[in-house]
Amino acid sequence: MTEFMQSLPDGWTIYLWMVAAGGIIIAAIIGIRWAYKNEQFDEDIKYLVFDENDKDKMSPEEFAKFQEVNAAQESRRAELLAEKAKARQAQESA
């Protein structure tokens, strides 16, 4: 192995670094695409850590936003669970 490494011309390591950088960029793009498709870029996610008992800790506007976001998340959750159940039922009947 050392003979092979010594037989390579000077400056070969830059190509190794370029391949590694390309791999990192491709992995980052794939990760961002996955996150976008799985609804991970939601600015309102911070409201999901609250519950009804936190009303006194929030302003009325924040509490209204909390209720709105929570209702939207619950409806989306119900949609996803229904899709999952439908897919499971279709898989079992096949």
Question: What tens-digit pLDDT sequence spans the chain (94 residues)?
Answer: 788 878 888 888 899 999 999 999 999 999 999 999 988 887 787 777 888 888 888 899 988 998 998 899 899 999 999 999 999 998 888 7
The Cα 34–Cα 43 span in angstroms is 17
Assess if residue 32 is contained within a domain. Answer: yes
Assess if residue 8 is contained within a domain. Answer: no
- Structurally, the chain folds into a number of domains equal to 1
Sequence-distant (≥ 6) Cβ neighbours of residue 71 within 8 angstroms:
none
User: Residue 58 class from Cβ within 10 Å (0-12 exposed, 13-18 middle, 19+ buried)?
Assistant: middle
Assess if residue 10 is contained within a domain. Answer: no
Structure tokens at 35: 């996150």
Residue type, 33: R
Q: What is the pTM of this model?
A: 0.57
| Range(s) of the domain holding residue 27 | 15-93
Assess if residue 28 is contained within a domain. Answer: yes
